[in-house]
Structure 1
């Protein structure tokens, strides 16, 4: 078992730290809230007075903090981790922060001769309690291998995101999708109600289509991600259907800002001559707008 410093005992951090204790690890904890520290101390952790105190003699230092500024202060500030950190220790930042902040923190750690990786988590506080978090590891192969036994005390699934800083990047994309889709789903559900449609009927329909399953796992793997833009469903038709939905919503006084913004992207694709391409080619349109000229990475779907 390992000696671990855990810094940040909030809604996610506290149960994650508890699960490390349950697996027999020796835990040194710190938080700005003394009550949070006391609660872990009662479970067998060693209470510490500062990040530097927590990190002393630790093999791993885990940070689970609210933002990058706090992570920076915990690592490099007065009584910070780096004041006592062993050169053999591995710092694992599990916070959700800006990717460029992660890059800067890692660069500073390397300059000081320390090792750091990023492992933000997916799922909820309930999963933190049950030890079934999704772990998104950004680190070297050696770092990921070394950290895996510790990480798996807190989660049920670990994904190697592909190198230092890539854990927080895939977390960012996942959060962007889920948060934006939450708002788009709210638009669809509101229009459903305004039309007098039973929401459960709509849910049953969407659960079997790209609307409910998402394009990453339905339309894209067999079309645009394979370089096939021959139309199974044309952008022209998608533009038309989206226009009908927006017109109905307007007549019913249902605001659909995300739908309207989406139609503008389809309009741009048509103006670029993509109207008769498959609707998955909207990805190529957005990539062009972003100035990405290199060939799209392909995937193979068995």
Structure 2
């Protein structure tokens, strides 16, 4: 089947993605509510329109790259919705980062109309979007994912089929959850360094050589808890001791160690349940337990 693609959402990420798909030789129509966003596509796209319904006429692959799930739903099913004119048995690919619950409802509505759905949100930045080096996290049936492989390769250099429908979005949200928490923890830690009179740039360089900056997934977790080894390289009771001293240092210099206190509380919960002598990475096991999930 010849893929006749429509890309809806020609923004910071969608525009370079669309250009890369066009440059890969695909037949591509583009749509955005802003005519200004479409200026660069008049000479390179098969069709350019501000109307999803008009742009989707006889298209069999509908790709959405939009800010949220409500907009995706409106673009697909609204008064000028793309699925009103798309080809029968089309494949809808949502590459947005949206609500999981709303995305699954959208997927069911699409399937009831006789179409297929794949979620494939992307990771990395507009810079990687320009160079076709995005991370594509895909959820959907194997055959449908295979059909889309050429499109995914046009926009990304890392394509991971995470699992069934919805798993691509789950992976994106879990990844961003960790990334945003790490962002705040990094800010809090460098703020602490500043509060106690240390050079922030020097400390950033120093910590980039340790687990603090390299991250647990690049250092301790693979060789310890993820490999089933909880013998202590650095036990939980020592983590509590070091955190306590760091918190005392922070409070003595009018810093606000919010995440430090939360981390200590979590480690203390694990210790209270007999895990104090296990490796620090055993905290993952504690957090997977009912006690860990219910801890405040």
TM-score, L = length of structure 1: 0.91
Work out the CA distance in 2 between the residues paired with 1:160 and 1:23. Answer: 21
> 1:226: how far off?
2.6
Work out the CA distance in 2 between the residues paired with 1:127 and 1:253. Answer: 40
Matches within 5 A, 1:1-80: 2-80=3-81
Q: Tell me which moved more, 79-88 or 231-240.
A: 79-88
Q: Tell me which moved more, 44-53 or 271-280.
A: 44-53
Mapped contact 2:59–2:87 kept (Cα < 8 A): yes
Work out the CA distance in 2 between the residues paired with 1:42 and 1:86. Answer: 24
TM-score, L = length of structure 2: 0.93
> 1:49: how far off?
4.1
Work out the CA distance in 2 between the residues paired with 1:37 and 1:244. Answer: 57
Match of 1:161, SS?
Answer: strand
Q: Tell me which moved more, 153-162 or 212-221.
A: 212-221
> 1:159: how far off?
1.0
* Aligned residues between the structures: 292
Name 1:281's counterpart in structure 2: 282
Q: Tell me which moved more, 169-178 or 186-195.
A: 186-195
Matches within 5 A, 1:199-210: 199-210=200-211
Structure 1: gaps of 5 or more residues: 293-302
Q: Tell me which moved more, 105-114 or 168-177.
A: 105-114
Match of 1:152, SS?
Answer: helix
Name 1:262's counterpart in structure 2: 263
Name 2:178's counterpart in structure 1: 177
- 1:97 has 2:87 as partner: no
Name 1:300's counterpart in structure 2: none
Matches within 5 A, 1:93-242: 93-242=94-243
Structure 2: gaps of 5 or more residues: none
Work out the CA distance in 1 between the residues paired with 2:185 and 2:166. Answer: 29
Match of 2:157, SS?
Answer: strand
Mapped contact 1:21–1:45 kept (Cα < 8 A): no
Name 1:296's counterpart in structure 2: none
Mapped contact 1:16–1:129 kept (Cα < 8 A): yes
> 1:288: how far off?
1.3
Match of 2:179, SS?
Answer: helix
Match of 1:272, SS?
Answer: helix
Match of 2:274, SS?
Answer: coil
Name 1:295's counterpart in structure 2: none
The 1:66/1:192 distance shift into structure 2, 3 A limit, reads same
Work out the CA distance in 1 between the residues paired with 2:153 and 2:225. Answer: 35
Mapped contact 1:99–1:169 kept (Cα < 8 A): yes
